[in-house]
């Protein structure tokens, strides 16, 4: 499942490798041309051409319908290969040793494109034929590094927010959703007083712990927090981020989370929310994907709702994940590179309507309607994108393993101050390795 981490050690290794071994003036380490690439006809004959797509465990079924249709239309052979978790670390390690697929699911943020050394390893997608069909507010939201587009968005970016059990709310007379952070926390206290577990956290699997901190930073992010962080003018140890970590710890100490917080898993979280054993979970879109595997759309519409949250109001924090986008690699094989672009063009062209129907997902394109079968909660998530703000992953020059340090705090081995300091130290190390000015 998605970790939303740079897998910092691997990222550092890749950054150092790129610094030491690549020629910035070269057209591409994989041998691809620096000139703008042509986009083949979507259904041009590709008989005998074999393509490889890397995917994570939570995205390996996403391409099924498109791959099948593309193979039928072109004669190509497309192999979807699952890279074991932690996905990002595995991909970066392989790429650093010269092992590249034709396409890969990848988190389309600037920092994660940097981690792949995009100018050397990835094909630019600036003139992609599908861009004119994308919803304007999403077209340039992500996938761009230093003015060049390297990632193709195939589904709406994930949004951090609160998934809640509608029946639990109804049973306890809750008719109005929280409108800011304070009312959100007060609702948790009200539910706890009524004998309900207000919030469920998956401390055992660790990777989602950071959402509780990041949603508290939405207002600061809108006010330029990550720009200041990137310029080394503010730090994780300063009041904005440290205060959010301390708030998270205080809510845990107050007993507003599940008793199993130290050991609970992603699966446990989904089961608890569906069953009404907990009222709310702060999560991202992949969580709802898990719920879709556990219940049908009718059940989910009756049971699960979503609202964004921030200190000042209902503002979402967007965090594109690897299941949202694809990148095309420079492999040195011109035929396969063109075929990879052709698959992307088909995916987001002739194959897109069937893709969103097969995925029961919200359409990115103005000319393709979202299926009637899309669950209400996913529509609510997509609606939150319009005025959302960027996450650490979306806006920071480097993404340290905040979630690991927070998980240690949940286990009782570190303090909020230590979490902030460890995260800052790693952030500075990664930024320095990437050559970011000021570090």
The residue length of the chain stands at: 439
Chain centre distance of CA 223: 22
pLDDT tens-digit readout, 334-370:
999 999 999 999 999 999 999 999 988 899 999 999 9
Please identify which residue in the block is written with the tokens 């041309």.
33
Closest C-alpha among 121, 83, 106, 63 to residue 348: 63
Helix (H, G, I), strand (E, B) or coil at 80: strand
**Token pair for 25:** 């003036």
**Is the pLDDT score of 25 beyond 60?**
no
**Is the pLDDT score of 34 beyond 60?**
no
Query: Are 37 and 122 a contacting pair, CB within 8 Å?
Result: no
Average pLDDT over residues 98-107: 97
CB neighbours (10 Å) of residue 24? 8
- pLDDT of res. 22: 33
pLDDT band at 7 (very low <50, low <70, confident <90, very high): very low
Closest C-alpha among 251, 139, 166, 135 to residue 201: 251
pLDDT tens-digit readout, 125-178:
999 999 999 999 899 999 999 999 999 999 999 999 999 999 999 999 999 999
**How far, CA to CA in Å, does 37 sit from each of 89, 118, 386?**
29, 16, 32
| Region of residue 203 (left: phi > 0; alpha: psi -120 to 50; beta: else) | alpha
CB neighbours (10 Å) of residue 251? 18
Domains (range + CATH), the chain: 50-157+321-366 (3.40.190.10), 158-319+379-434 (3.40.190.10)
pLDDT tens-digit readout, 237-259:
999 999 999 999 999 999 999 99
Distance from C-alpha of 299 to C-alpha of 153, rounded to nearest angstrom? 29
Question: CA 127, 128, 131, 137 torsion: positive or negative?
Answer: negative
Q: What are phi and psi of 124, to 5 degrees?
A: -70, 145
Average pLDDT over residues 409-414: 98
Closest C-alpha among 59, 65, 78 to residue 3: 59
Distance from C-alpha of 144 to C-alpha of 159, rounded to nearest angstrom? 19
Q: Convert 293-320 to b/e letters by CB count within 10 Å (16 or more is b).
A: eebebeebeebbbbbbbbbeebbbbbbb
Helix (H, G, I), strand (E, B) or coil at 122: strand
pLDDT band at 19 (very low <50, low <70, confident <90, very high): very low
């Amino acid at each position: 499942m998605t970790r939303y981490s740079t897998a910092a050690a691997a990222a550092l290794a890749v950054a150092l490798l790129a610094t030491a071994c690549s020629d910035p003036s070269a057209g591409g380490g994989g041998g691809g041309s620096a000139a703008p690439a042509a986009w083949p006809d979507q259904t041009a004959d590709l008989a005998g051409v074999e393509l490889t797509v890397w995917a994570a465990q939570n995205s390996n079924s996403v391409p099924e319908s498109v791959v099948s249709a593309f193979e039928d239309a072109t004669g190509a052979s497309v192999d979807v290969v699952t890279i074991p978790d932690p996905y990002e670390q595995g991909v970066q390690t392989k790429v650093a040793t010269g092992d590249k697929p034709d396409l890969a699911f990848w988190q389309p943020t600037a920092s994660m494109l940097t981690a792949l050394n995009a100018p050397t390893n990835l094909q630019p997608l600036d003139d992609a034929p599908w861009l004119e069909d994308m919803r304007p507010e999403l077209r340039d939201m992500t996938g761009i590094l230093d003015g060049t587009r390297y990632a193709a968005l195939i589904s709406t970016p994930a949004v951090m927010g609160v998934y809640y059990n509608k029946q639990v709310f109804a049973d306890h007379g809750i008719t109005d959703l929280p409108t800011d952070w304070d009312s959100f926390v007060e609702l948790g206290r009200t539910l706890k007083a009524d004998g309900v577990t207000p919030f469920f956290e998956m401390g055992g699997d660790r990777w989602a712990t950071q959402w509780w901190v990041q949603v508290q930073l939405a207002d600061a992010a809108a006010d330029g927090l990550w720009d200041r962080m990137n310029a080394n003018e503010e730090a994780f140890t300063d009041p904005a981020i440290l205060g959010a970590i301390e708030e998270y710890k205080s809510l845990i100490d107050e007993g507003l989370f599940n008793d199993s917080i130290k050991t609970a898993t992603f699966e446990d979280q989904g089961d608890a929310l569906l069953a009404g054993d907990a009222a709310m979970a702060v999560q991202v879109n992949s969580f709802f994907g898990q719920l879709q595997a556990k219940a049908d759309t009718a059940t989910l519409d009756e049971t699960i709702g979503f609202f964004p949250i921030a200190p000042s109001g209902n503002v979402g924090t967007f965090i594109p994940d690897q299941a949202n986008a694809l990148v095309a690699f420079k492999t040195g094989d011109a035929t396969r590179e063109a075929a990879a672009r052709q698959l992307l063009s088909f995916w987001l062209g002739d194959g897109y309507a069937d893709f969103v129907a097969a995925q029961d997902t919200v359409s990115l394109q103005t000319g393709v309607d979202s299926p009637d079968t899309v669950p209400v909660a996913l529509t609510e998530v997509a609606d939150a994108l319009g005025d959302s703000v960027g996450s650490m992953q979306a806006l920071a020059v480097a993404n340290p393993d905040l979630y690991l340090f927070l998980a240690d705090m949940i286990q009782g081995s570190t303090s909020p101050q230590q979490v902030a300091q460890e995260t800052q130290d790693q952030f500075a190390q990664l930024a320095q390795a990437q050559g970011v000015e000021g570090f």
